[in-house]
Chains A and B, each alone.
Chain A
Amino acid sequence: MTERLTNRWNGITALAFVAAGIGILLGQPVTLLLSAVGVGYAAFAQPRTAPEATVALDRRLSETDPDPDDDVTVTLTVTNVGDQTLPDVRLVDGVPDALGVVDGSPRRAVTLRPGDTTTLTYDVEASRGVHEWGETTVLTRNWSGTAERESGVTAPGNIRCIPSLAQDHEDFPLRKQTVEHAGRVTTDTGGAGIEFHATREYQHGDPMHRIDWKRTAKTGEFTTIQFREERAATVALVVDTRRDAYVSDTDGVSAVEHSIRGARTVGPALMGAGNSVGVAAFGPIWTWLTPSLGRDHRARLRETLATGEGFGPLPSGDRYLPRQTIRRLRNHLPGDAQVIFFSPVADDYLVTTLRRIEAYGHDVTLVSPDVTDTDTHGGLVATMERSERLRAVRRAGIRVVDWDPDTPLRLALQDAVRGWTR
């Protein structure tokens, strides 16, 4: 709580003196009389203390578990619980930084007599995450406005907005896998599966349904058809949450938000195909969910992507520690885990990072939401720099999905897969 002088009536006494002086010089009683007005206001401006903010706040939210983009109506009731009139109360509600006000205003000026109540009503648009209302700033002034007192008053209020995981199970093409678990990643090993791989001579113990009966009928020899074996993979969805990744598109949505949306699509698709999926926030605040499967894990994945500390809707104020973060990722990743990295690739550092992860023996696929704006000169430069970086990433043998976030990720995947087939 701070009290300050506004200095707004400074000089009013001088005004009275000037009027009196001119009146005397000109010998005009009427002019002289005007100094009385100045004197009156000087007396009015004499008190220099602002009243205490004797207000009680009550905040009501129309919904506390909204879906993303839902409008939540906030009703803030402010009552003067003191026994003195508050001549000039200026209110600024502590709307969470990540929420945008779409209708009404969270700010108001009022005069409150004892017991008087005023109600502020405004709508915010819900977005991913847990949002807590902060202190409401209450500025109280005295009648003449010479002094102002700033106080913070809190009233509880928070919303939890947990976007659901994508429903449509579009397959995400993982990189070839060499480790044993039945699943859907195709390998170069022949065995049970769907896609034809090769034929070989029948060996004792081969299942009957894989014997090539047509060939037996023709030649009398037994051959066994081998299919491409499909195996399950362990995948970590790593989201770039460093400050650089919070670049916004032209609508003001950050690349991190797009990346998380991408993870919400890719995660369930991979789990639906029998893969273990984990998530990591690659930024100042490390958040990690160990790869796993199952319904409970899906719920955990959804919760982590929505409210995980590292996945904040706004950049964290903490410092990003490059070595520590890389080491953590390396320590947490299971040995055979693939990495699907989500990043706008807004800096060169990321290219090096991806190369390093690949060098540690993890197959990396980069999904890069493109938030660059080609309408401005700066945007054009950023676009060119980004393409150059993506080229460098591809040269390192890393698969790249260049994704325009305005279109479904599925389309970007189809384009990318066409480029991968060699």
Chain B
Amino acid sequence: MSVVDRSPTTPGRVIALLAATIAFLTTLAGTAGSVGIGLVGAGLLALGVFAGSRPAIDLGALALFAGVVFAAAWSTSPVLPLVGAVAAVVAWDAAENGLSLGQQLGRDAATGRAEAVHAAVTLGVGLVAAIGAYAVYRLSAGNQPLPALVLLLFAAVVLTAALRD
């Protein structure tokens, strides 16, 4: 009787590494610090998907996101940072999903389509959020003061937090 390999699935690994690479590339627009944090994050995430370690995946994705956030401070256009942020989240989501599928079903199970759909949905949600943010940014750029933008976004954040019980 064969033993089932319970490490993260191949589609999960591929999607996670692809998205992590994109997120890392966007940090190149920032300083050496942001690139460093991004690199550590991408490396940790890669380690996590190969070793099947949830903490490594979580920490890696967090560092990757932090790298994108710091790189954004030196960016004048919001497009690249938004892409980077969405890519970091997609990378984490695919990695975690692949990990749970590996644990529940094993690597030899057919999971590709389900993982592709899952990643596409997560990417779609991110794109909608990013496009919304970009629209707000374009509308407010120039004629609206920054604090108004801050308050608007923060209201949204607080609202979401409040909705969660």
Contact = CB atoms under 8 A, between A and B. Distances in A.
B65 interface: yes
Interface in A15-74: 15-20, 22-24, 26-44, 46
Interface residues of B, number: 57
A100 B68 contact: no
A40 B128 contact: yes
Interface string A106-120: 011111000000000
Contacts of A42: 157, 160-161, 164
A8 B122 CA distance: 13
Given A31-B81, A105-B108, A24 B156 contact: no
Nearest to B133: A36
A37 B153 contact: no
A342 B82 CA distance: 72
B86 interface: yes
A187 interface: no
A202 to B, nearest CB: 69
B153 A39 contact: yes
A41 B129 contact: yes
A274 interface: no
A6 interface: yes
Contacts of B114: 88-90, 109-111
Interface string B125-159: 11011101110110000000010011001101100
Interface in B87-146: 89, 96-97, 100-101, 104-106, 108-111, 113-115, 117-118, 121-122, 125-126, 128-130, 132-134, 136-137, 146
A38 B86 CA distance: 9
Nearest to B149: A29
Contacts of B110: 105, 108-109
B75 interface: yes
B101 A90 contact: yes
Contacts of A35: 153-154, 157
Interface string B35-70: 000000000000000000000000000100100111
Contact of B133 (A6, A28, A37, A43): A37
A42 B163 CA distance: 10
A252 B1 CA distance: 8
Given A40-B128, A92-B105, A108-B110, A17 B69 contact: no
Given A20-B154, A27-B146, A34-B72, A44 B137 contact: no
A347 B59 CA distance: 51
A190 interface: no
B105 A90 contact: yes
Contact of B73 (A28, A111, A139): A28
Interface of B: 1-2, 62, 65, 68-70, 72-73, 75-78, 81-82, 85-86, 89, 96-97, 100-101, 104-106, 108-111, 113-115, 117-118, 121-122, 125-126, 128-130, 132-134, 136-137, 146, 149-150, 153-154, 156-157, 160-161, 163-164
8 contacts: A30-B76, A31-B70, A34-B72, A44-B122, A90-B104, A107-B108, A108-B109, A109-B111
Q: Which 3 A-B pairs have the closest CB atoms?
A: A40-B129, A36-B133, A107-B109
Given A19-B85, A22-B73, A26-B73, 10 more contacts: A8-B96, A30-B78, A32-B146, A39-B157, A90-B101, A105-B105, A105-B108, A107-B104, A108-B109, A111-B113
